[in-house]
Amino acid sequence: MGEEPSEVTAEVLPTESEAGSRFGFRLSESIIHAIDRQIVSSGLRLIMFLPAFAAITYFSSWAFSQTSPLFWEDNIEPNIGMGFSMFTASLSFVVVLGYILAVGFHRYRVRISLATFHHQVDQSNIDHRSVQSLQGYDGLLYQLENSMSHHTKSLFFACCSALMLIAVLWNGPSTEFGQLFLLASSSFLVLSVGQHLPTRSTPFNMVEQTGLLAAYTPPVHPSTLNMVFNDLIKTHMDPLLRSQYDEYTKELEQGFKRGINRHFAHEKFLMTLYRHATGLDRKTLESEMSEILTKKGMEFVFTHDVFTLEAWLVLLGLINQRCPAFFRMVDRLKQDLESGREPAMKDLIFEVDMENVVTDKANLFTLFHNLSNKTRTVVFRVQTPNFEPKDLALTYRLEPGETYWWSNEALPLAAEGNEDVLGKMSGLLKDSTVSWQTLIPTTNGDATVSVRLEETNGELLLGRQINVRVRAEFRQWLRTTGSYVAYLFGGFGLMSSIIFMIIQIFDTAV
C-alpha cells in the first residue's frame, strides 16, 4: 500500500471510487493550464501587465493628490463628485484585485501541478519504479516546492497591497495618512512582483509529458559516455520521465530485429529522431526505423502515449539548446560523410567542440574513433586560464571499431541499409569514445581553451584553441536583477511608510 496523499494532494485529487476520476482530473488541469498559459502567465501576461498598469495609477493618484487636472476638474468632477486622485486610487484598487485574481489563479494551477507530481511519484512507487532514488529528484522537488512558496508569498503581498488601498480610500489620498498608505500599498505590490519574477525562469506543469524539463537542472553527468545519445538524453530527463524512459527502452528492445546490435539500434533510433527534429520527413523516418524495428516495434514507437514524436521533438530541442556543442560536432561529422571528406588523421577521428557563448557552465565535447585495426592509447589534455579545472589530462585506450564507420565517398543522408549517413553516424557514435567535460568559468569576458591530443610520450598529434565569450544569460540576469531591485525598493518603501506613519501618529498625539 502507498502512503496517504499529502494535504495539498488530497485537496485537488478526487477519490478512487469516482468513475473516470483520473481522466476528469487531468482534463481540469489541462483547461486550467491552457487558461493560465494563454491569459495569465503567458500570452496576455496579465500577471505582469496589471502591476505595470497599477504603477501608472499609483503615480497619478500621488501626483494629483492636492489638485485635479483642469480637464477633470471642469468637466468630470462636477458630474461624479470624485476628485482625480480618488478616482485613480479606486482604479488602482480594481487593478490590484485583478492582479490578486491572476496570482491566485496561477498559484492554484501550480498547486494542482505539484499535487499531480506527488500523485505520479506515489503511483510509480506502487508500480515498483522508485523515482525518489533517482539522481536529481531532491533538487527537482526543492525547485517545485520553492516555486510554490514564491507564489504563496506573492499572493500574500498582493493581498496586503489591496488592504493598504482600502485604507487609502478610507482616509483619502490627499491626507498624510492616505499618502503613507498609498506608499505602503505600492511597496507591497512591488514585493509581490519581486516574488513572482524568479519563478518565470523555471516554469513547470504536469499536463505535458515534458512539462518538468524547464524546471529541472541536470546533476553531474558521466565524464565518458557509453551510449552517447542515450546517455545525453537520460541526463537531461527529469526523474519522473527518466523512470518511464527505462520502461520504454525495455519494451523498445523487444521490437528490435534479430541480429541487430542493441547499442547500434539504440543510437540509430535516437539519431533518426534527431534528424527528424532537424527536417527529416516522416516517410524517410519510418523507412529508417523499419531497418531496426519489427512491425510490432514500429507500432509501439508511433503509438506510445508518453514518448510521442512531439515529446521527442521538445526533448531534443531542449538538449540542443543546452548542449549545442555536441550537435555541432555531430553535424560536422555528418557533413564530412555527406561530402566524402577524409579525416585530419587517416587512422584516427578527433573532433572537439564547445559553446561560443558560455553563461553558467561550459560543455566541452570530444569524440575519438580509432579507424585502424590496432589498439591505440592517446592523452587528451585541456588547458585554460579562464575555467576550472585549469589543467586536465585524460588517457584513453581506443579499441578498433567493429566496422569501418567512415567513407571516402559521398554518402546519401538516408538509403536502404547502413551505407548512408544515418547508418555510418550511428555506428560511429556506438564505437567511438565521447568525452563530456564541464568547465566552470572563473571570469567574464573573452576566454580561451586549449585542447591537445598527444601520444603517451608527449608527442603532439593535434591541437586546437577555442575562443569563447563568458557572460550572464540575459533573461535570467534581467529576472534576477529585477527581483533584487523589487526587494530593495519594496522593502525601502515599506520601511519608510512605517517610520513616517509612526512619526505622524506621535505628532498627532502631541
- pLDDT tens track for 189-205: 999 999 999 999 999 99
Half-sphere exposure of residue 396, counting CA atoms within 13 Å on the CB side?
24
The answer to the question of residue 1 being in a domain is: no
Do 231 and 207 fall within a single domain?
Answer: no
Do 223 and 149 fall within a single domain?
Answer: no
| pLDDT in the model for residue 355 | 92
**Distances in whole angstroms, Cα of residue 334 to Cα of each of 47, 222, 288, 323, 428:** 45, 25, 16, 17, 11
**Domain that includes residue 147, residue range:** 21-211+477-509
Do 92 and 186 fall within a single domain?
Answer: yes
Domains of the chain: total? 2
The answer to the question of residue 15 being in a domain is: no
| pLDDT in the model for residue 200 | 93
Do 198 and 347 fall within a single domain?
Answer: no
The answer to the question of residue 307 being in a domain is: yes
> Rounded to whole angstroms, how far apart are CA atoms 93 and 169?
9
Do 352 and 496 fall within a single domain?
Answer: no
The answer to the question of residue 272 being in a domain is: yes
Do 117 and 266 fall within a single domain?
Answer: no
The answer to the question of residue 328 being in a domain is: yes
Do 447 and 496 fall within a single domain?
Answer: no
The answer to the question of residue 6 being in a domain is: no
Do 324 and 190 fall within a single domain?
Answer: no
| DSSP reduced 3-state for 117 | helix
CB atoms within 10 A of CB 250: 9
| pLDDT in the model for residue 223 | 86
> Rounded to whole angstroms, how far apart are CA atoms 264 and 276?
18
> Rounded to whole angstroms, how far apart are CA atoms 509 and 276?
77
∠ Cα 25 27 32 (to 5°): 95
Do 130 and 264 fall within a single domain?
Answer: no
> Rounded to whole angstroms, how far apart are CA atoms 359 and 203?
20
Residue listed under C-alpha cell 480594481: 94
The answer to the question of residue 167 being in a domain is: yes
> Rounded to whole angstroms, how far apart are CA atoms 201 and 141?
16
Alpha helices in 360-467 (DSSP H): 421-431
Do 280 and 394 fall within a single domain?
Answer: yes
- pTM (2 decimals)? 0.85
| DSSP reduced 3-state for 394 | strand
Do 105 and 69 fall within a single domain?
Answer: yes
DSSP run (H or E) holding 28: helix 21-35
| pLDDT in the model for residue 19 | 36
| pLDDT in the model for residue 334 | 86
Task: With beta carbons less than 8 A apart as the criterion, state whether 274 and 318 touch.
Answer: no
Do 232 and 88 fall within a single domain?
Answer: no
Ranges under pLDDT 50 in the chain: 1-25
> Rounded to whole angstroms, how far apart are CA atoms 206 and 29?
8
Give first-to-last CA distance, the chain, whole Å.
69
Say if residue 510 is exposed, middle or buried (CB neighbours under 10 Å; 0-12, 13-18, 19+). Answer: exposed
C-alpha gyration radius of the chain: 30
> CATH number for the domain including 315?
2.60.40.10
The answer to the question of residue 315 being in a domain is: yes
Task: With beta carbons less than 8 A apart as the criterion, state whether 242 and 251 touch.
Answer: no
| pLDDT in the model for residue 17 | 38
| pLDDT in the model for residue 509 | 67
| pLDDT in the model for residue 510 | 58
